[in-house]
Amino acid sequence: MAIQTSSLGTGRGAESTNTVLVSRGWNVLVENLGYADATRFIMLIDKGSGDAVKHFRELWGDTSAQDIYNQMVKQRSKD
């Protein structure tokens, strides 16, 4: 699953702007849908041609699986 951002900006600094936009969009989805449904939403709209492992590695960085799980449990308790 790859989120296509290349058309969101061009020129110098566009990559950084696109990264910020994708990050903000993801945060809005998570705030409104929770982690699980936000992920399902992205998977529904982007059947993807990219590398899902790479995408999630970029998304979560060095966050451990336990920390991701803890965030999901915390968010689920809010829903």
Say if residues 14 and 8 touch (Cβ distance below 8 Å): yes
Q: What is the pLDDT of residue 53?
A: 78
| Helix%, strand%, coil% for the chain, nearest 5 | 75, 0, 25
Q: What is the pLDDT of residue 50?
A: 72
| pTM for this predicted structure | 0.46
User: Measured between alpha carbons, how far is 37 from 43 in angstroms, rounded to an integer?
Assistant: 10
Residue with the bigger pLDDT between 68 and 8: it is 68
- Encode pLDDT of 14-65 as tens digits: 678 888 999 999 999 999 999 999 998 988 887 766 787 788 888 888 888 8
Residue 1 has pLDDT above 50, yes or no: no
